[in-house]
Structure formats: structure tokens, C-alpha cells
Chain A
Amino acid sequence: METLSVDHLLGIKDLTKEDINLIFSTADGFKDVINRPIKKVPSLRDITIANLFFENSTRTKLSFELAEKRLSADVINFSSASSSVKKGETLVDTVNNILSMKVDMVVMRHPNPGAHAFLSRNIDAKIINAGDGAHEHPTQALLDAYSIREKLGKVEGKKVVIVGDVLHSRVALSNIYALQKLGAEVMVCGPATLIPKYLHTLGVRVEHNLKKALEWCDVANMLRIQLERQDSKFFPSIREYTMQYGLTLDLLNSLNEEIIVMHPGPINRGVEITSEVADSSQSIILNQVENGVAIRMAVLYLLAGKIGR
């Protein structure tokens, strides 16, 4: 029986290449499902899933909720803004209280790195990481790699540059793990203040010149500048950042080869990427969003298959 090697999706770091390929081939099936007139299958009709968002999210939360509903799961939602967390309840207590209402799976976003790993040791439910601080965001990396595979036919041997605020990005770390496991070469590009000091130990190239990075790559994944996570000044001004690291149509057209442009969203139009580039034919930003639902359906389906009856 083909099955995942893990019981929870805590991060890409724990997955094998075979796991990722199994998720991709399952997602192929679900991509087909969500393009049918009736976009729903009954697989998870006896499963209840709690979406716990201790940090803001629009796209990921909607995408997970849609994926769950398209699999016919029952869904409950929770966001920390309106909860007892504000009254001093611990994470384990909050989650155990929710689990006593007979919940089988937990999709969680939490500001603390490792919150999911901690929870997986303390509660009895399948856990899916929807982002933990600046650590990992596994489903985003899976859908990014899946979108590259869809557009270029394969990931192996492709050159991918991750541009921007790598320091505060959970998308960057998960992407590095996923792309490397699938055999791609990864480069990061950004101001030295936003590149973690020991990143090269992961076998990642580091480049500070955007033009050089773009000339090297097949795919550019443009990250958002996470002003909300920055507690000090990492660059003089947004305007200066945009001058140095913003992707413009002129820059894109000046390259010898056509590259693919990605963005995990939300886009700051005119900062890391101009509107012309975001809406150009080289951009697969909206394909990423569509693939996100299929990938999340695949992850939920494969993990739900491991829940005993």
C-alpha cells in the first residue's frame, strides 16, 4: 500500500522524495475533481477537521477550508482573536478541549516555530502545519513545487531563485527543503540583512544581485517583505528595496531566457513585483492558488487514510 511515511505534516524536512511524489500524484486526481461540474467527493465524510488559526491568514485558511469541504469533511473554524487564548488558556488545553468534541484532524497556523511538533507529541489527532512562525509552511512549498512541475514538466534539474525577505519567511525554508528533495538547484537573493547567516550550509547559493540571479534561474519565487515581522530596520526604505530587488517588466524582458514568476501571496504590488509582471503571461501566481486546493486535498486525504477506525 502506498502511503505517507509520516503521521502528521509538520514540515517538509520530515518528508521523503517518495512522500512528495505521492502527494503530487494524488493531487493530480483532485485537480481533476475540482474542475468537474460537481467539485466534491465523499472520501472524508466521516472526518471532522478543526482549523486553528492563531495568526492571520486569508488564502491559506480559505484554501484549506475549501479543500476540506470538497472532500466532504465536517469543518470547524477557530481564530485566536475571538478565543479563550486571550484569557490565558494553554495551547494543549485549547486543542484538547476542541478534540473532546471528537475532532480527527487539526490544521493549525501558529506564530511559534515548533508549536505543531510540540502538539503532535501531546494530543491524539493528525496535525497539519499551515505555517509556524518563520519556520515552515509545508503545503505552500508543496503547491509551489507542484506548480513548477506542472509548468515545466518536472522539478529535477531546474534552477529556482527565492527572492526577498528570506529571513522572516517560512515559505523560503519549506521551499528549499522541497525543491532540494526533488532535485532542483536553489538560490536565494536579497539584501544581506534579510538572508540568514548560515543559509549556505543547506547547500543553497546566495546572490545579492537580482539581475544575476534572474539570469541564472528558470523560476523566480518573489517573497513579500514581511514588515509586520521586522522589529528593526533591515533596509533604508521600501523605495530603495524596490529599486534593488523589485521585479519589473523591463528587467524581465532584458533576460535572455523566459523565466517563470511565482509569488506565495499576498502581493505588495509595486514593491517586490510590479503589476505588469504579476499579471503577465510568465506569472503563474493564480495557478499556484488553484493548485493549493488540490495539494491540500491530497495531504488531507492521505493523512486521513491513516486514521484508524
Chain B
Amino acid sequence: MQPREIINTTEFNLIVRRLAFQLIENHTNFEETVLIGLQTKGVFLADRLRKELETIQPGLNLNVGYLDITFFRDDFRRTDKPILANETKIDFIIEGKKVLLIDDVLFTGRTIRAGLDAMLAYGRPSLVELLVLVDRRYKRHLPIQPTYVGKIVDSIISEQVSVEWEEVEGEDKVLMHSSEK
């Protein structure tokens, strides 16, 4: 079966813009706030939000970092998933700051759990918020909820949600893949 488009390019850009405005509402000039994208796909969203925020508020001084969670995963030796690490790049202090964790899809919550652990190796933030583009609700394995959501999607466990980016796949959109052939 062909994947179903659940967010098209127009909606995608509207959502990112809306998320950017929500962030400005809560964080004003981002002096005490840092953005951290989770490797790999959360990094694209973090970069896109930075671009959007800088368009809305020119001259904004944003701290944006990337966090790799590979070594903090709870499924090491339990899956056949790639175990190769990605780059972590956090060249600012998170101690005492408000941290905005950013990922593309929130599903079981295990990635975010690992992200929280990985982040704490850098210090103790005063506050942590979570921003996701897609929230697959009712599928959580852990008590984790996002602060900012692009779109809520109801899906069954065999379905897969994938986010495509202009810089990688050529077009911004979100697809739902059914496991049925």
C-alpha cells in the first residue's frame, strides 16, 4: 500500500511557524533558553525552528545544539538497529538554563527518556520542555508528554510515521506507512 500523506508541505510550514510563535510566547528573547535537537531527525527540526525564529525576530541570539542518545538507549543488545553513534554538539552551558528538547516523532517515549539521561550528563537545567512535530498518542511505554505538539496522530502499532525534509528527501511532508502490502 502507498504511504498516506498526513501533513503536506503547506501544512508542514504552517506548523513549524506556529510552533515558533508558541516558543516566542513562552521564551520571549531566548536569553535563558537553549534548543537541543535529538539525533538524527530532531536535528533538522531544531535547525528549521532556528531559521523560523530568526526570521520572525531578526538578530536573535539562539543556542542550538545536537544530542546523540545512542549510548543511552535501553535497547542495546536487544535489537538489530544500527548502533553507530552520531555527533553530539553542545558548545554552551545548560546548567541552570531552560532546555527545549526537540524531536520529530514522539512514539513510545523511550528515545526521549534516553535523551533526558544523555542531556543530564551536561548539567542540571532549570526546566526541560519537549517539542515534537508529530505525537503518536496512546502508544506511550513511559509517562512522557510533549509541551509543544505539531500534530497529534492516531495510529496502530504496525503503522510507521516518517518525517521527510526538503534538505534530505526534497520535500517537507509527513507520511504514514501501513505494514499491509
Contact = CB atoms under 8 A, between A and B. Distances in A.
A62 to B, nearest CB: 21
Interface string B71-87: 11100111011111111
Interface stretch (A37-45, A111-119, A160-168, A267-275): A37-45
Nearest to B95: A37
Contacts of B82: 1-2
Given A2-B83, A36-B121, A38-B120, A29 B70 contact: yes
B123 A37 contact: yes
For the residues of A in contact with B, the DSSP-based class is loop
Nearest to B79: A1
Classify chain A: how many residues form its interface, as a range: 20 to 34
Nearest to A302: B83
Given A2-B82, A304-B77, A42 B121 contact: no
B122 A26 contact: no
Contacts of A134: none
B80 A1 contact: yes
A305 B70 contact: no
For the residues of B in contact with A, the DSSP-based class is loop
Classify chain B: how many residues form its interface, as a range: 20 to 34
A39 to B, nearest CB: 8
Contact of A309 (B72, B78, B121, B122): B78
Nearest to B68: A29
User: 7 closest pairs, A vs B, by CB?
Assistant: A29-B85, A41-B71, A38-B121, A43-B71, A36-B121, A2-B84, A1-B80
18 contacts: A1-B82, A2-B83, A3-B83, A25-B84, A26-B84, A29-B71, A29-B85, A29-B87, A37-B122, A40-B121, A41-B71, A41-B121, A43-B76, A46-B77, A71-B71, A304-B76, A304-B77, A309-B77
